Chain A
């Protein structure tokens, strides 16, 4: 990890452990930490190198970054005009929209598939290419601490301003989510996050209030759903194959966990012997603290997969394995 200008985070953690073991070592380490930026020198080289990489890739990156629909962004990733964007920008498949090229030209486009959970969407430009495009980072290549840069149209496309650049670092890299300190704003949604090779590593998705809370749909989520998205599939729920499992219950909040309000006939829940009034406490050792934990615990599994369920009946905890069934009716509280 050539990322941090000072030390990789893992090293810092080990050292702070040492500090707990021996006060003297702790003091020594702290002294080193304070002076390291002054003696290291390489942190500045790291910044300068980053600027060189960003600036040498920038023209190519900007030529491929477009406005999408009403106030979103996107990036062209093939000569024939395939555009990656956010699912909440492209919206439902097979709709006619417009993309705005960097020179302001509007080009007709059609929405392809989307993967809702990761906020990954695709759009196809309808004019013939060849279009300027950028490469994708390979699967599993993004690490916390990597330098990255963001392009997009924050606040919507503004011809007199054009694209806005931000440079930052990857804070967290997950299969369904990248977080960075490249500040984003409405209108950036769907725009690209690049690594220093100028390859797309993520697509801007959402933000939290703190400046460091900027989230991107990871390129890996696109890689894994590529064919489905290209063929216009609408992947709802948590699973990339759309095969969401189903427990067959309707729940209501309990003081702790969720109480079963309804057990559907012929469902996995009924077959395994769950009753109305049982309280779900844990699934696969995960406490059912909120409805999303429950949705994820069930919805991320495929039909036929088994989960371990801890539940409360008449004040006594029971545990059993349940084989989940195929998807049923869609309702936020039916699982």
Chain B
């Protein structure tokens, strides 16, 4: 089974069986047990985490789980003593509940969204929650230890700030269609009036709107289009979540359609090889203005939780599981500005 999965035949950086083979070979050669750092003793091993979970206990009343249709979709951070909770907006659906650290469920009675930084402010009636203590994010430097709750809010992970604060440019939305890259194949006489679609990504925005392979796009938002380049340019002016109007020709029939654009990385994960090596990542990964980047291995459902120093002071709100090496957080100062601006 493990044949040919070694050095020379392997794509570098992908080697699940490498260690097994090495252990096999090496174990036979040496016959002795070599020093090995047990799982529990690693930086995010269970033994190490126990210490941090003890530190974190004092702050659990400031973290909640956000449920949609009964399933957890994110974490939330308590930001006031009158039931205000901040979370990641793009993970939310319409059937929201909030589960606090004592397991009690609450239905939010108010929701405000800031789509630019992808944060939502929910409000519930509860007296058992405690607002976080904000820290100063202006002094945050590379190498600073940070901790944050995992998807299960009773667990924590630790990591370091891994870049300087910076902006991550927002990727445009995706319709989920593919044109042939070969011009000769693309501009067949039958598509002379518009841009023929060669593939529709399953589950993408176009698929959901009922667009099919072979359809010819002739108009987007009232603007006539003839070539695929024009279609691409018009779509890229929109962001995920925005709805565009299309007119297509299918056979002899002209049809009018509405499609709500999806997230680019979620629609075309194969476009970025690093996504395929990163496990679960957030649907919306980019475009939050200034962010803090750290190296904690957090799942997408842990977004919306607080990014804390060991002191418990909150320096940011986790907003994007970006890839295997990066989780992004909105700095505390930006979150507080949003809270102050909200009624």
Q: State how many angstroms separate the Cβ of B282 from the closest Cβ of chain A.
A: 16
Q: State how many angstroms separate the Cβ of B42 from the closest Cβ of chain A.
A: 5
Interface Cβ pair total, 8 Å cutoff = 215
Stretch at the interface among B158-166, B170-178, B214-222: B158-166
Tell me if A296 counts as interface (CB < 8 A to partner B): yes
Contact residues in A for B26 (Cβ distance below 8 Å): 174
Q: Given A168-B42, A185-B278, are A37 and B47 also a contact pair (CB < 8 Å)?
A: yes
Tell me if A143 counts as interface (CB < 8 A to partner B): yes
> CA of A287 to CA of B25 in the docked complex: distance in angstroms?
9
User: Once the chains bind, are B159 and A184 in contact (CB under 8 Å)?
Assistant: no
Q: Which of A164-216 contact B (CB under 8 A)?
A: 164-174, 177, 179, 181-189, 205-213, 215
Per a CB cutoff under 8 Å, which of B7, B41, B141, B279 touches A4?
B41
> CA of A155 to CA of B279 in the docked complex: distance in angstroms?
15
> CA of A43 to CA of B310 in the docked complex: distance in angstroms?
13
- Measured CB to CB, the nearest residue on chain A to B12 is A88
Interface size range of chain A in the complex: 35 or more
Contact residues in B for A207 (Cβ distance below 8 Å): 13-15, 277, 324
Q: Given A166-B325, A208-B19, are A9 and B37 also a contact pair (CB < 8 Å)?
A: yes
> CA of A34 to CA of B40 in the docked complex: distance in angstroms?
12
**Chain A 55-79 per-residue mask, 1 if CB under 8 angstroms from chain B, else 0:** 1001000000000000000000000
> CA of A3 to CA of B10 in the docked complex: distance in angstroms?
33
Q: Given A37-B50, A186-B13, are A286 and B41 also a contact pair (CB < 8 Å)?
A: no
User: Once the chains bind, are B43 and A181 in contact (CB under 8 Å)?
Assistant: yes
Contact residues in A for B29 (Cβ distance below 8 Å): 284, 286
> CA of A208 to CA of B2 in the docked complex: distance in angstroms?
14
Q: Given A43-B48, A206-B14, are A145 and B35 also a contact pair (CB < 8 Å)?
A: yes
Contact residues in B for A10 (Cβ distance below 8 Å): 35
Q: Given A186-B274, A206-B13, are A171 and B163 also a contact pair (CB < 8 Å)?
A: no
Stretch at the interface among B67-75, B83-91, B121-129, B142-150: B142-150
User: Once the chains bind, are B15 and A208 in contact (CB under 8 Å)?
Assistant: yes
Q: State how many angstroms separate the Cβ of A37 from the closest Cβ of chain B.
A: 4
Tell me if A105 counts as interface (CB < 8 A to partner B): no
Contact residues in B for A257 (Cβ distance below 8 Å): none
Tell me if A38 counts as interface (CB < 8 A to partner B): yes
User: Once the chains bind, are B8 and A116 in contact (CB under 8 Å)?
Assistant: yes
User: Once the chains bind, are A174 and B22 in contact (CB under 8 Å)?
Assistant: yes
User: Once the chains bind, are A154 and B274 in contact (CB under 8 Å)?
Assistant: yes
Tell me if B202 counts as interface (CB < 8 A to partner A): no
Q: Which of B256-283 contact A (CB under 8 A)?
A: 272-274, 277-279
> CA of A188 to CA of B28 in the docked complex: distance in angstroms?
32
User: Once the chains bind, are B15 and A160 in contact (CB under 8 Å)?
Assistant: no
Q: Which of B1-33 contact A (CB under 8 A)?
A: 2-10, 12-19, 21-22, 24-26, 28-29
Tell me if A126 counts as interface (CB < 8 A to partner B): no
User: Once the chains bind, are A171 and B15 in contact (CB under 8 Å)?
Assistant: no
Q: Given A44-B51, A213-B16, are A185 and B41 also a contact pair (CB < 8 Å)?
A: no
Tell me if A22 counts as interface (CB < 8 A to partner B): no
Contact residues in B for A169 (Cβ distance below 8 Å): 37, 41-43
Per a CB cutoff under 8 Å, which of B7, B143, B163 touches A161?
B163
User: Once the chains bind, are A154 and B326 in contact (CB under 8 Å)?
Assistant: yes
User: Once the chains bind, are A38 and B8 in contact (CB under 8 Å)?
Assistant: no
User: Once the chains bind, are A184 and B13 in contact (CB under 8 Å)?
Assistant: yes
Per a CB cutoff under 8 Å, which of A173, A185, A205 touches B325?
A185
With a 10 A CB-CB cut-off, give which of A3, A48, A171, A287 has the most chain B CB atoms: A171
Q: Which of B293-316 contact A (CB under 8 A)?
A: 293, 295, 297, 310
> CA of A155 to CA of B163 in the docked complex: distance in angstroms?
14
User: Once the chains bind, are A86 and B12 in contact (CB under 8 Å)?
Assistant: yes
User: Once the chains bind, are B325 and A5 in contact (CB under 8 Å)?
Assistant: no
User: Once the chains bind, are A290 and B160 in contact (CB under 8 Å)?
Assistant: no
Contact residues in A for B55 (Cβ distance below 8 Å): 44
> CA of A186 to CA of B8 in the docked complex: distance in angstroms?
18
Tell me if B252 counts as interface (CB < 8 A to partner A): no
User: Once the chains bind, are B35 and A161 in contact (CB under 8 Å)?
Assistant: no
User: Once the chains bind, are B12 and A119 in contact (CB under 8 Å)?
Assistant: yes
User: Once the chains bind, are A144 and B36 in contact (CB under 8 Å)?
Assistant: yes
User: Once the chains bind, are B41 and A208 in contact (CB under 8 Å)?
Assistant: no
Per a CB cutoff under 8 Å, which of A119, A167, A292, A293 touches B43?
A167
Closest 3 CB pairs between A and B? A37-B51, A144-B35, A286-B28
Q: List 9 A-B contacts (CB under 8 A).
A: A12-B38, A161-B293, A162-B164, A167-B43, A183-B295, A205-B12, A207-B14, A213-B15, A293-B28
Residues of A within 8 A of B (CB): 3-6, 9-10, 12, 33-34, 37-38, 40, 43-44, 47-48, 51, 54-55, 58, 86, 88, 116-117, 119, 143-145, 149, 154-155, 160-174, 177, 179, 181-189, 205-213, 215, 253, 284-287, 289-293, 295-296, 332
